[in-house]
Structures are given as structure tokens and as C-alpha cells.
Amino acid sequence: MIQLFTFPAAFGLRNVSPFCLKVEMALVHLGLEFEIVEQSDPRQSPKGKLPYIVIDGESIADSELIFDELDRRSDGGLYGSLSPQEIGNGFAWVRLVDDHLYWLMVASRWLDDSWWPNVKQGFFSELPFPLSRIVPAVARRQVRQTYQLHGLGKHNLDEQKEFTRKDFSALNAAIASQPYLLGSSLSVFDFSVASLLAGIFDNQPASWVTDIAQEFPSLKEYAERVQQQLGVWARQQ
């Protein structure tokens, strides 16, 4: 059986990471038997981040590499039916959500002083004193440094909000006249986009990214549609 290592539930989400959720979606889509193993400390994973899977004794980390392996093992079950143009378009959208919109979501959780107490409670509440003070501060500093290196952290909040709104507008235009990202049929690329959107819309309490997302009800409907078709949900049911 495949083991999928993910974060524990937090913020009203049973799967707090969109990267973990999209791998779960792929496994369900392919009809593969698997179990979810919750892991609080990503430093224990092969690449220091989650998710990763263990399959036939082999550990594979990073959602994109996991998808490649699952596609190989399923004889093209994820990418095989798509044209080169569809694959190119799909990866362009994945890069937007994984490498840009995702970090704006992270900032709205970790770097917003009003939201930060939820991160401390969700991720670090079980740590004993004094680790309960030291570890969250160190982790938050690392997130802030990463956000600065990414480049988004060099912009003020109003500018970050405008970037967020542009990302949502682009995604909204992509699904304006069709049920899924590439057209009438669900594809592997919907897992990446819908998992992030679901985590944003169902985030409890709402962050400033959630507030902007609410301006685009069609995106919420899209995220619900993908989750409903797969029977895999970001939020706690």
C-alpha cells in the first residue's frame, strides 16, 4: 500500500497544504490504495518538506515528482490523454499557483500579525515550554526570509494584494466558460489549482487572501466542483 505523508489538520482544514491535498486527489483519481500518515515536522521527510510518498519501499518527495512516478506506474493515467499544448498550458497555470499565489497565501497566514496566533496554535501548540516560544519565532523568521528571497516580500501589503487579485483574475478568466481548467474534462492540473483555492476559501478564520478570493465566486464554485467530483475535500467535514 502507498503511504502519503501529510501535515495534520489545522485552520479548519483536514489537509492544510495544497501540495499534500493535490497528491491525495491524484491517488483517488487513479483508484490507488493508500493510507495517510500525518507528520508534524517536515524536517523528518526526505527533502525537508511535505508531502512525500512511500511506494514499494521507495520514498518520493515533491508533488510534481510524485505525479511523474504515479503517471509512469499508471501507464499515463495523469498526463497520457493530454496533448502537448494542454500539458504546456497546464504547467503554466501550476507555476502560477505553486510559485506565486501559494506564497501570497503563506504570507497571509504567517506574516500577518493578526493571523499569526492561528499559525502558532495550529502548528506549535503541543510543543513544551520553552520550545513553544522559540520554535515558532525561528520558523516565522525563516518564512519571512524565504518570502524576501522570493521577491514578493519586498513589496508593501497593498502591492501584494494587487498581485493576488491579478492571479485570481487570471484563473477566473481561464474557467469562465468551461467547468475545468483545460475544458470540459477534469485533468491532473485541476488538482493543483483546486487544492490551493480550496485551502484559501475554507481557511478558518479568513485571511486577507481569502477576503480577496471572495470577489471571485466562480473560483469557489470551481474548487467545489473538483472536490465534489473526486470526493476529496480540503475542509474538515
Structural domains of the chain in order of their starting residue, each with its CATH number = 2-230 (1.20.1050.130)
Q: Report pLDDT digits (tens) over 42-80.
A: 888 899 999 999 999 999 999 999 999 999 999 999 999
Which three three-digit cell numbers place residue 146? Answer: 524565504
According to DSSP H, which parts of 116-216 are helical? 116-124, 131-150, 157-174, 188-201, 208-213
Q: Report pLDDT digits (tens) over 112-152.
A: 999 999 999 999 988 899 999 999 999 999 999 999 999 99
With beta carbons less than 8 A apart as the criterion, state whether 22 and 16 touch. Answer: no
Which three three-digit cell numbers place residue 208? Answer: 486577507
- Neighbour-count burial for 125-157, b at 16+ CB within 10 Å, e otherwise: eeeeeeeeeeebeeebeebeeebeeeebbeeee
Which three three-digit cell numbers place residue 5? Answer: 505523508
Q: The whole model's pTM is what?
A: 0.96
Q: Report pLDDT digits (tens) over 173-215.
A: 999 999 999 999 999 999 999 999 999 999 999 999 999 999 9
Separation CA 144–CA 197 (nearest Å): 22
